[in-house]
Amino acid sequence: DELISQIAAGEVVERPASVVRELVDNALDAGSTQITVRLLGGGVRLIAVEDDGIGIPKDELAQALKRHATSKISSLAELEAVGTMGFRGEALAAIASVAEVSLLSRTGDAPHAWLLDARSGELSPGARQRGTTVEVRELFYATPARRKFLKSDTTELAHCVEAVRRHALARPDVGFAIWHEGKLVAQWRASLVARGEDALEATRARLADVLGDDFVTEAVTLQWPADGSLARGLRVRGFAGVPDAARSRADQQFAYVNGRYVRDKVIGHAARAAYEDVLHGHRQPVYALYIDIDPARVDVNVHPTKIEVRFRDSREVHQAVQQAVQSALAVPRA
């Protein structure tokens, strides 16, 4: 069982950034409004993710670390329609099999927090406000071969920051902070108007915060269908920009499906096709696309890291994305 979980861990945990991503997923699933990530040694020595979410009840702490333990799904039917980030119940178990993990958590009705040390199984009283802190120390301590594969602290830190950035661009209603070796690396404040009508405007502000004002000044708002309705079970919204050659960067292409960051060939191809007449030379398109689709029309259960999706009808998605980006780019700019 130890071996099985280590093999599974290999699929989920590749480097510190994979841990960061899973822990932030969990913090978001717990309804947090502020998430703080603290790192040491590029995340190899320590990753601590602190949230103000619903917390984990004392008697569920040990359960949370078990393989296939998830509080988020209880039937196959639900698996079809998952609205949460996590649903496999694999992440914490996988992480705990390749690092030293502790959980400190307090629910709203608990008189104090509880601390669970994963390795010893010891449960002891602790102190914190409502929410959860997950600490992950000495990643791959027992597998030096895999630890050797990690890059420099600077590189691993950059990947960790990128993991948080991907979340931050989808959730302007949540505040994020990242610390490394006691220094604040990035901080994005929660927008108060991020829910409902103004969600897209809040997203624009968050994009400016995270990617810089350039991105937003150059970017036009896009929406498909034009009225922004979800009546057809598919909607594409977001921002597309035409960078000048000097500022062209390959890492400013973000796509989300039902709130999850994805790398998807269909979306990427559709966006490139839309840019065909606009971009010349070696410039890279810049865009942030938010696709909402009927959960029954997309399979998110393709890969353990959930970064890939499979659309039931990829032509439909391709067309929607291409049209959305094309019509936005066709609007004359000042």
Residues that bind ligand ADP (CB under 6 A): 22, 26-27, 29-30, 51, 53-56, 64, 69-72, 86-93, 132
Select from Mg ion, ligand ADP, none the partner in contact with residue 52, using the beta carbon and a kind-dependent cut-off of 5 to 8 Å: none
**Nearest distance in Å: CB 255, Mg ion:** 21
Residues 177, 50: Cα–Cα separation, whole Å: 10
How many residues of this chain interact with Mg ion, rule: CB under 5 A? 4
Identify which of 273, 155, 261, 282 has the alpha carbon closest to the alpha carbon of residue 210.
261
Q: How far is the CB of 287 from Mg ion (least distance, A)?
A: 27
CB closer to Mg ion, 18 vs 322: 18
Q: Binding segment for Mg ion among 89-97, 246-254, 308-316, 319-327 (CB under 5 A)?
A: 89-97
Q: What track of x and - describes contact with Mg ion for positions 30 through 69 (by CB under 5 A)?
A: ----------------------------------------
Q: Compute the least distance from the CB of residue 30 to ligand ADP, in Å.
A: 3
Pairing between β-strand 183-188 and β-strand 253-257 as defined by DSSP bridges? unpaired
Contact between 8 and 90 (Cβ < 8 Å): yes
Could you say which of 91, 150, 207, 321 contacts Mg ion (CB under 5 A)? 91
> Among residues 41 and 57, whose Cβ is nearest to ligand ADP?
57
Smallest gap from Cβ 180 to ligand ADP, in A, equals 21
Residue nearest Mg ion, Cβ-based: 86
Please give the Cα distance from 23 to 161 (Å, whole number).
13
Q: What character string, x for contact with Mg ion (CB under 5 A) and - otherwise, covers 9-28?
A: ----------------xx--
Q: Is 241 in the site for Mg ion (CB under 5 A)?
A: no
Q: Which of 239, 162, 241 is nearest to 201 (CA)?
A: 239
293 binds, among Mg ion, ligand ADP, none (CB under 5 to 8 A by kind): none
Give which of Mg ion, ligand ADP, none residue 264 binds (C-beta under 5 to 8 Å, depending on kind). none
Q: Which is nearer to ligand ADP, 50 or 209 (CB)?
A: 50
Distance CA 308, CA 36 (A): 26
What are 105's two structure tokens? 């958590």
In whole angstroms, how close is the CB of 142 to ligand ADP at the nearest point?
Answer: 19
Q: Which of 16, 55, 86, 172 binds Mg ion (CB under 5 A)?
A: 86
Nearest residue relative to ligand ADP (C-beta): 86
The torsion angles phi and psi of 17, rounded to 5 degrees, stand at: -60, -35
Query: In Å, how far are 120, 268, 293, 331 from 273, measured between CA atoms?
Result: 54, 9, 21, 17
**Which stretches within the chain are classed as H helix?**
2-12, 16-29, 61-64, 76-80, 91-96, 144-148, 153-168, 199-211, 213-218, 265-275, 314-330
Q: Which is nearer to Mg ion, 283 or 306 (CB)?
A: 306
Residue 160 interacting partner from Mg ion, ligand ADP, none (CB closer than 5 to 8 Å by kind): none
Write down the least CB distance from residue 85 to Mg ion, Å: 6
Length of the chain: 334
Please report, for residues 96, 222, 230, the alpha-carbon distance to residue 311 in angstroms, rounded to integers and kept in the order given.
32, 21, 17
Residues 200, 279, 252, CA angle at the centre, nearest 5°? Answer: 45
CA distance readout (Å), 206 to 85, 166, 169, 192: 20, 11, 6, 12
DSSP letter for 61, please: H
With CB cut-offs between 5 and 8 Å by kind, which of Mg ion, ligand ADP, none does residue 132 bind? Answer: ligand ADP
Closest by CA position to 256, among listed 175, 322, 169, 188 = 169
Rounded to the nearest whole angstrom, what is the least distance from the CB of residue 89 to Mg ion in the complex? Answer: 7
**Rule CB under 5 A: which residues touch Mg ion?**
25-26, 86, 91
